[in-house]
Amino acid sequence: MASVTEDQVREALARVNDPEIKRPITELGMVDTVTIGETEIVVRLLLTVAGCPLKDTLTRDVTNAVGQVAPTHTVRVDMGVMTDEQRKDMQTMLRGGQTEREIPFAQPGSLTKVYAIASGKGGVGKSSVTVNLAIAMANRGLKVGIIDADIYGHSIPDMLGVGDLRPTQVEDMIMPVPAHGMKVISIGMLKPRKDQVVAWRGPMLDRALVQMLSDVYWGDLDALLLDLPPGTGDMAISLGQHLPNAEVVVVTTPQQAAAQIAERAGTMASMLHQRVVGVLENMSYLTLPSGERMEVFGSGGAEQVAATLSERLGYDVPLLGQIPLEEQLRIGGDSGDPVIVTHPDAESSRILQAAADQLSGRTRGLAGMQLGLAPAGRL
Ligand SMILES: Nc1ncnc2c1ncn2[C@@H]1O[C@H](COP(=O)(O)OP(=O)(O)OP(=O)(O)O)[C@@H](O)[C@H]1O
């Protein structure tokens, strides 16, 4: 009987990814020993933390991979836990050799587009827009991350159905929570208790933002969306300081009062040297059973914001779309299954998908856009 070698088994193991970190377990230093007996192969794995919730997935994947190169052997997977030293080595490897924390998206040459979703007033639908825009980008094959930096609302995890999940921590590195094919971290996940009220001043908020940007293992992202708290407060200033390359999308309703406050949010972004890439109007109208459109919050707000910002900032700030009031959108947010997933043909979903395509440079024929010159999503 031709026997299998340890190299062949390790080669097979190199095809198994850690389910959370999504990198080969061999690269992560998780394969401790491989022992090949007459009839049995024993693979000893080192987990990052004892009681890792993904033990069963790892055992299944390892058994399948080794079974393919050694079909006549049985496979046994033993589990141990990494030492502090081994965890630190893994963390350094994940940071690309950097031992110091740094914000990967602020490095020259970063290919990740960062979008800050801002609003003047609260409750205009900024978080709903963030999750649906993010999924719309993921729908096009982009690797997407979301940071919920809204200290007052932090509603993103619930909107994505992961409100009860906590991120895994490896040393001082935090693994983002997977949701709808994306990676998510929320300021709410950094609190000791879910129901704790966040009453932080500027420096604490700054630390929380830096933690979410640099201590979270984001891996390779095409787009990172940040849900900011409403208004022009400390978080917006911190973001401007740490990520001046972020592009800002302003969300507003058609209401004139909301529009004026939204203009201030856009102007502030520009003062922090961030580019305002568009305005999205939410709650624009309600389609009545007769087909007639009722403008519940009036009309013209976002057009006004786009025109004022274009004039003030000296470049074109487009209106990216007008999203109607829709019950399905609200239900999607409440249930954790966003409307763009459950009802991709709903009017709101189509408008959000078009806005996402416009932002990530996927709509053909837009004036001034580079087409086909760079990899998708990295224009
Ligand atoms: N177009 C819409 N149609 C129906 N309901 C909507 C729409 N947009 C938002 N909502 C609902 O309005 C409420 C507020 O929306 P959301 O939480 O997204 O706003 P926000 O601007 O992020 O609020 P906050 O200021 O608290 O962060 C939610 O219940 C959401 O489901």
Q: From the options 3.40.50.300, 3.40.50.1980, 3.30.420.10, 3.30.70.20, give the CATH code of 107-359.
A: 3.40.50.300
Q: Are 144 and 221 in contact (CB under 8 A)?
A: yes
pLDDT greater than 90 at residue 89? no
Nearest CA to ligand 1 atom 25: 122
Q: Determine which helix (DSSP H) or strand (DSSP E) holds 186, and give its type and residue range.
A: strand 182-186
Q: How far apart are CA 27 and CA 48, in angstroms?
A: 13
Confidence label for 257 from pLDDT (cuts 50, 70 and 90): confident
User: What pLDDT score was predicted for residue 41?
Assistant: 95
Distance between Cα 239 and ligand 1 center (Å): 23
pLDDT greater than 60 at residue 363? no
Confidence label for 366 from pLDDT (cuts 50, 70 and 90): very low
Radius of gyration of the chain (CA): 24
Each residue's pLDDT tens digit, 335-352: 999 999 999 999 999 999
pLDDT greater than 50 at residue 148? yes
User: What pLDDT score was predicted for residue 36?
Assistant: 94
pLDDT exceeding 70 applies to what percent of the chain? Answer: 89
User: Which residue among 117, 127, 158 is best mutated to probe the pocket of ligand 1, counting the most ligand atoms within 8 A of its Cβ?
Assistant: 127
Confidence label for 263 from pLDDT (cuts 50, 70 and 90): confident
Residue 5 has a CB neighbour count (10 Å cut-off) of: 13
Q: Which tokens belong to 88? A: 């630190």
pLDDT greater than 50 at residue 181? yes
Amino acid at 178: P
Distance between Cα 358 and ligand 1 center (Å): 22
User: Is residue 132 lining ligand 1, measured as CB closer than 6 Å?
Assistant: no
Q: Are 25 and 17 in contact (CB under 8 A)?
A: yes
* Alpha-carbon distance values, 61 to 43, 56, 238 (Å): 12, 9, 42
Residue numbers belonging to the annotated binding site for ATP: 120-127
Confidence label for 379 from pLDDT (cuts 50, 70 and 90): very low
Q: Spell out the alpha helix ranges (H) of the chain.
A: 6-13, 55-69, 84-94, 126-139, 156-159, 202-210, 234-242, 256-271, 301-313, 327-335, 339-342, 347-359
Tell me which of 172-181, 255-264, 276-285, 321-330 is least confident. 255-264
Q: From the options 2.30.30.30, 1.20.120.530, 3.30.300.130, 3.40.50.10680, give the CATH code of 6-94.
A: 3.30.300.130
User: What pLDDT score was predicted for residue 364?
Assistant: 41
Instruction: Tell me what percent of the chain is helix, strand and coil, each rounded to the nearest 5.
Output: 35, 20, 40
pLDDT greater than 90 at residue 328? yes
Confidence label for 121 from pLDDT (cuts 50, 70 and 90): confident
User: Is residue 188 lining ligand 1, measured as CB closer than 6 Å?
Assistant: no
Which of 250, 252, 253, 292 lies closest to 268, judged by CA? 250
pLDDT greater than 90 at residue 54? no
pLDDT greater than 50 at residue 378? no
User: What pLDDT score was predicted for residue 371?
Assistant: 36
User: Is residue 323 lining ligand 1, measured as CB closer than 6 Å?
Assistant: yes
Residue numbers belonging to the annotated binding site: 120-127
pLDDT greater than 70 at residue 161? yes
Each residue's pLDDT tens digit, 165-179: 888 877 778 889 999
Residue 323, helix vs strand vs coil = strand
Q: Relative to the CA of 155, which ligand 1 atom is closest?
A: 17
Which of 318, 335, 317, 321 lies closest to 283, judged by CA? 321
User: Is residue 283 lining ligand 1, measured as CB closer than 6 Å?
Assistant: yes
pLDDT greater than 50 at residue 370? no
Mean pLDDT for the stretch of residues 73-85: 90
Confidence label for 254 from pLDDT (cuts 50, 70 and 90): very high
φ, ψ (nearest 5 deg) of residue 56: -65, -40
User: Is residue 330 lining ligand 1, measured as CB closer than 6 Å?
Assistant: yes
Distance between Cα 313 and ligand 1 center (Å): 28
Mean pLDDT for the stretch of residues 138-160: 90
Q: Relative to the CA of 348, which ligand 1 atom is closest?
A: 1
User: Is residue 252 lining ligand 1, measured as CB closer than 6 Å?
Assistant: no
User: Which residue among 117, 121, 128 is best mutated to probe the pocket of ligand 1, counting the most ligand atoms within 8 A of its Cβ?
Assistant: 128
Mean pLDDT for the stretch of residues 294-305: 91
User: What pLDDT score was predicted for residue 202?
Assistant: 67
Nearest CA to ligand 1 atom 29: 330
Q: Are 358 and 317 in contact (CB under 8 A)?
A: no
Mean pLDDT for the stretch of residues 82-99: 77
Distance between Cα 281 and ligand 1 center (Å): 12
Distance between Cα 124 and ligand 1 center (Å): 6
Residue 3, helix vs strand vs coil = coil
Distance between Cα 329 and ligand 1 center (Å): 9
Which of 361, 320, 354, 322 lies closest to 340, judged by CA? 354
User: Is residue 150 lining ligand 1, measured as CB closer than 6 Å?
Assistant: yes
pLDDT greater than 70 at residue 198? no
Nearest CA to ligand 1 atom 27: 153
Q: How far apart are CA 265 and CA 233, in angstroms?
A: 9
φ, ψ (nearest 5 deg) of residue 364: -75, 150
Please state the domain extents for the chain.
6-94, 107-359
